[in-house]
Chains A and B, each alone.
Chain A
Amino acid sequence: MTDPVISLRDAALSLNGNAGRVDILRAITLDVAAGETLGLVGPSGSGKSSLLMLIGGLERATGGSIHMMGQDLTALDEDQLARLRLQYMGVVFQSFHLIPTMTALENVATPLELAGHRDAFARAEEELHAVGLSHRTGHYPAQMSGGEQQRVALARASAPRPKILLADEPTGNLDGSNGAAITDLLFDLRDRHAATLVLVTHSNTLAARCDRVIRLRDGQIDQNLKAAE
């Protein structure tokens, strides 16, 4: 394997809740190579989404180390993590998480504006065109269907041409046909930008399209499989 773009060593995540300390993730060691597509599968509560959040710097590890593009995420503060995401990552969520007060175009343009692109809106229009939403640029999230919202979210994640795409059950809230369309779009984007893709899914079909699949159980890596297996 060439130098991994994502590398976790004994990464752990524990949360203190009302019921006491809960270990969400334990001793996760994992490398993801550039251009690889990694699927994270496992039963509900196994820690898939938490692992994705750790990789994205959206959650702080309580143990071990996480390196992304050579940088130790555990040593970065909130703003440094935000800058790292801006530079390298796009994230897609199951619930889309579009900003409700912004139109589709504005949502997509936001990361480009943050990165200081002068042509943010022109590029955002291109991205929306690429996901088939040229006609919805001026619409607010509440005025769009779930499938459309997820396409806007995909466009937003891919607009800055990220080296790493993180997707948390991107088809989880969609019906079969919308889900398939989003899956095609997601893989198409990965191919277009030669990005590394890490996705959490319950879908066997989606997992089958990954280069590698990791199965989690009780916060630990249970199996590390090639997709074909």
Chain B
Amino acid sequence: MSLRLAARLARRELRGGIRGFRIFLACLALGVAAIAAVGTVRASIEAGLEQEGAALLGGDAELDFTYRFATPEERAWMRDNASDVSEIVDFRSMAVAERDGQTERGLTQVKSVDDAYPLVGAVGLSPDMTLEAALAGKNGRPGAVMDQLLIDRMALNVGDEFALGTQQYILMAALLAEPDGAAGGFGLGPRTIVATQSLAQSGLLAPGSLYSSKYRLLLPPDVDISALEDQAKARFENSGLRWSDARNGAPGVAEFVDRLGAFLVLVGLSGLAVGGVGVSAAVRAYLAGKTSVIATLRTLGADRATLFQTYFIQVGALSLFGIAIGLVLGGAIPVLLAPLIESRLPIPAVFTLYPAPLMEAAIYGVLTALIFTLWPLARIGEVRAATLFRDALSGAKLLPPFRYLAIIALGLATLIVLAGWFSGTWRLTLWTAGGIAAALLILSVAAGAVRWCARRGGRALRNRPVFRWALSAIGGTGEGAVSVVLSLGLGLSVLATVGQIDGNLRNAISGQLPEVAPSYFFVDIQKDQMEGYAARLEDDPSVRRVESAPMLRGVITGINGQPARDIAGDHWVLQGDRGVTYSDQPPNNTRITDGAWWPQDYTGPPQVSFAAEEAQEMGLKLGDMLTINILGRDITATISSFREVDFSTAGIGFILSMNPAALSGAPHTFISTVYAAPEAEAAILRDLSTRYPNITAIRVRDAIDRVADLMAGLAAATSYGAAATLLTGFLVLIGAAAAGEGARTYEAAILKTLGASRGRILRSFALRSAILGAAAGAVALVAGIAGGWAVSAYVMDTSFTVIWPSALSIIIGGVCATLLASLAFAMRSLSARPAHILRAKE
């Protein structure tokens, strides 16, 4: 029979409307909408970053140097190629203000600028004035502008004085908008802007101090940026130059948005998987209701292929409809909410409809619909004409024919490959797919186990009719129990996993870390200050430990004579500059895992000891030659040992440690950690800051709070994704409750006829929901703990403890959700007159 006939039959069937398909459509639409919305927001931000690249960067291109200013040759090259150049210097420092005999100190990220700043965009100040006027200061004092947060923290007012190092400034205005603020990435302190020339007497930019200089270029319109980049790199890369340009004005932000977007899409895919369970259940329920129609068509001579095509076309048309709704919602909601989203984003975004993310969401939707509907559709062929008025599908085989299984497997493989390709994170995609598959498998087994236990329990629980009815209902009918446990269980599993990861991360950062972390990091301690610095701390009984090390910063540019990135790819160690120290003996608490430390007073060719774990990830081995650019000079050193470096305690940890002779001649400062009793921290800071104004103190607890805030934002974004998954699960739950309403009404009518009160029937309905919800919650609890442990152990490298409040709330949530969905439908079942229900079945 022809496809045309199947299409005609499908059209006639669909004339009945989409009443039975509301949950089907909602599941697909919600899953697709979530993915489309995440993709649209991501594309909007990426477009914003691209469009505003020059403003974010502060120019068309930027040359970045660590520890030093550009050489005359480099400056000449910039002048020759750019129409305008602006120099800024970026470093951390302490702002110190005297107020009523009290000294207020605040860590700040200082940006010192020249007259040309900003080349692109404008600085917003309050009170309104030009930056030039603000930085000029008054009464002979240079001016500064400061982030309102720091102004509040230090209880300053416009017109007050404060010091950076040994230089006094007058606060001229609050900094409201910084055009290139987003490109700087994660800063430990709020921003202060001063003029570079005012820092000459501050003592802050001494040789070896930690600062970076950035040169922003405005280029003539006809310049080929790509060619200019190649030219700059060819000429200056060995000097430690780093290049960025307006094509990607905030590379760190862009990468972060890309990663977070990819992760949220994967969370969205788990939501689509939950929706798939609902879609599958809806198709099963629809086909069960169509059994007599299918059997009648068979009686009239329809073959299996025609019947399959008839329902495949119906389900396909409805799937496309659901996906279209999802695309409209997912595309439109971010655009409609653009003002709200933009107000909460620290970066620009261009909200409009982007075809690529919508296409991606549509493809996921189509594949999910195919994977989850083919199985029930394949069973149409099993309906025989002879079983017209029998429970035709109850005796059906467990598995559909092989060809359908093969198509399902192919669809699944395509979905995973596409998800990996779209997200660009294969490992995460495979972990997510594996996690969803494992969760579905565990949940299926759990659903089977619950049914088995219910059947057994039902027989054991004689004379407790309320319990027995509940258990009989769970054990007797497969679909309801399986749908509820699968959909709610998967939704709760995602939420539980996110909860466990988030909780453990918070524990690690805010709970455990402060206990093992030092009180302060002191940076930029000059060599001649070390003696006095150490003496102050040695005499203090509240100081438990002080660790100090010389620190320089360097960029690994080559491995065995090859560009480093060609050998070790995009490993984080190669991204930007890293701290480098030197020592004639291994630090305490360090274990050499391979090779040997250089002898004391070694003066031979440079040697380097490398962090073992990172070396393994980068494929380094003993004897490899590393080229490290420090202060514009290339030093090539042989790897002579690997050692364990523990970054989890926030103590001093260097990836690279070299023999003293290789570095001690270079200008550098010292870094030091102080472990002190909390009540002594203020006095230590006061004494050291007063005595050495150039030293910057970073209070570790404040830094931890900053990181915790950042993590809270990430956890919130992930929780929204997980909530969409849970909402889909709840929809499936409502679908299952709605699908079971007829059966429950019938059951209630019979039980009433037999003498059961409404209260008893309601208790039985509630009990069965609670049991299923608890089962789904229990599996989610196990899956969440397992998932959280796996991520903690293998991804974050932190210890894992079960976050019980989050875990238990998952079970309680599961029970409440099923109770809510089921009882909402139970009321109608209970209020129906038995005679009407029973006679309708005659």
Which of A's residues lie within 8 Å of B, judged by CB? 49-50, 53, 56, 58-60, 78-79, 82-83, 85-87, 91, 93-95, 97-102, 106, 109-111, 113-118, 120-121, 140, 142, 156
Contacts and interface: CB of A to CB of B under 8 A. Distances in A.
A102 B476 contact: yes
A113 B834 contact: no
15 contacts: A58-B835, A79-B757, A79-B758, A82-B756, A87-B755, A97-B746, A98-B750, A101-B473, A101-B477, A102-B469, A113-B468, A114-B465, A114-B756, A114-B760, A142-B390
Contact of A110 (B749, B751, B835, B839): B751
Contacts of A117: 463
A86 B754 contact: yes
A121 B833 contact: no
B754 A93 contact: no
Contact of A120 (B391, B463, B834): B463
Interface string B465-477: 1001100110111
Interface residues of B, number: 38
Contacts of A59: 833, 835-836
Q: In the complex, which of the residues B468, B477, B746, B838 has the most CB atoms of chain A within 10 Å of its own CB atom?
A: B838
B100 interface: no
Contacts of B839: 49, 53
Contacts of B472: 99, 101-102, 106
A71 to B, nearest CB: 14
A58 B834 contact: yes
B759 interface: yes
A163 to B, nearest CB: 13
Given A94-B842, A101-B473, A109 B462 contact: yes
B841 interface: yes
B754 A114 contact: yes
Given A93-B842, A113-B465, A86 B391 contact: no
Given A99-B472, A99-B747, A109-B462, A82 B477 contact: no
**4 A-B pairs with least C-beta separation:** A86-B755, A101-B476, A113-B465, A53-B835
Interface centre among A78, A99, A118, A156 (most CB of B within 10 A): A99
B842 A78 contact: no
A121 B458 CA distance: 12
Contacts of B473: 101
A97 B751 CA distance: 10
Nearest to A166: B753
Interface centre among B743, B749, B752, B755 (most CB of A within 10 A): B755
Q: Tell me whether chain B's interface is mostly helix, strand or loop, or mixed.
A: helix
Contacts of A142: 390-391, 394
Given A53-B839, A121-B462, 8 more contacts: A50-B835, A58-B753, A82-B756, A97-B750, A101-B473, A110-B465, A113-B468, A142-B390
Contacts of B462: 109, 113, 120-121
Contacts, number: 99
B753 A85 contact: yes
Contact of A156 (B476, B746, B749, B754): B754
A116 B835 CA distance: 25
B568 to A, nearest CB: 62
Contacts of A118: 463
Contacts of A99: 469, 472, 747, 750-751
B507 to A, nearest CB: 45
B835 A111 contact: no
B684 to A, nearest CB: 72
A60 B841 CA distance: 19
A78 B758 contact: yes
A78 B760 CA distance: 12
Given A101-B475, A106-B458, A113-B463, A83 B838 contact: no
A114 B462 CA distance: 11
B838 A93 contact: yes
B440 to A, nearest CB: 25
Given A59-B835, A100-B476, A106-B468, A115 B755 contact: yes
Interface in B808-842: 833-836, 838-839, 841-842
Contacts of B756: 82, 86, 114
Interface in B749-780: 749-760
Q: A83, A98, A100: which has the most chain B beta carbons within 10 Å?
A: A100
Contacts of B746: 97
A106 B457 CA distance: 13
A61 to B, nearest CB: 12
Contacts of B758: 78-79, 82
Contact of B753 (A97, A113, A115, A121): A97
A100 B477 contact: yes
Of A49, A113, A118, most B-chain CB atoms within 10 Å: A113
Nearest to A102: B472
Contacts of A79: 757-759
Contacts of B842: 49, 93-95
Contacts of A86: 754-756
Interface in B466-491: 468-469, 472-473, 475-477
Contacts of A121: 462
Interface string B433-473: 00000000000000000000000001000111100110011
B755 A114 contact: yes
A64 to B, nearest CB: 17
B390 to A, nearest CB: 8
Contacts of A97: 746, 749-750, 753, 838, 841
A120 B464 CA distance: 10
A182 B47 CA distance: 78
